[in-house]
Amino acid sequence: MTREHGIKFVAAADYLITSVTALADDNVRGALLETAMAHKRRIFVPHGALVGLDTLWEQRHRLAEVTITFRKHPKNLDFAESGVDPAIVQGPTVLYDGPARGIAPLFPRNINTMITCALATVGLDRCRAVLIADPALDKAYAEVEAIGHDGSRIATWNEQPATGVSGNDMLASIIGSVRAAAGRAPGLAFV
């Protein structure tokens, strides 16, 4: 939807992109940003399963390397674009290990959080993305390790039951992102 209609959306209103993988395409992202700036609009990127996005974003200038690893049961992966036969997955299998930009066209429905992590930190070409399919898993895992130029380390871990190609906290994540984009509710707010 973002590829086909995103520019029209952001020309008319602020836009919360729920299929963040579209932003892995430099042309799409550039056109959206150009349109947003021209129309004084905002583009919101939801955090998804990315625990600690605020810290990663705040520290991005200090980061030397970032790795985001997903571990999922093969039934929770959409292999349609990957060219990989899911039947090969008999045990833990690394399906991808490389720059986040490279995984985007292979598993576009599964890696929104990886693209969010890359865009928020060291970029699509420097952020390492690792996708592991494991038929023994009954949950989905998202791990981030970010190493600073000074040797500092940020590490997060998210474990959750998987539903379809997403974790079960996807709806809560989207609702939280909408609320944050719309403004803070009365009461205690962490900023």
pLDDT at 101: 97
Q: Is-contact 110 19, C-beta < 8 A?
A: no
Is 80 exceeded by the pLDDT of residue 172?
Answer: no
Bridge partners (DSSP) of residue 66 are 127, 146
List phi, psi (to 5°) of 80: -55, -40
pLDDT tens per residue across span 20-46:
999 999 999 999 999 999 999 989 888
> Taking phi first (over 0 means left), then psi (-120 to 50 degrees means alpha), and beta for anything else, what does residue 151 get?
left
Is 90 exceeded by the pLDDT of residue 188?
Answer: no
What span, in angstroms and rounded, lies between the C-alpha atoms of 141 and 71?
5
Q: Cα-Cα-Cα-Cα dihedral of 75, 106, 121, 11, to 10°?
A: -110
pLDDT tens per residue across span 130-156:
999 999 999 999 999 999 999 999 999
Is 60 exceeded by the pLDDT of residue 186?
Answer: no
pLDDT, average across residues 103-115:
94
pLDDT at 16: 87
pLDDT, average across residues 84-94:
96
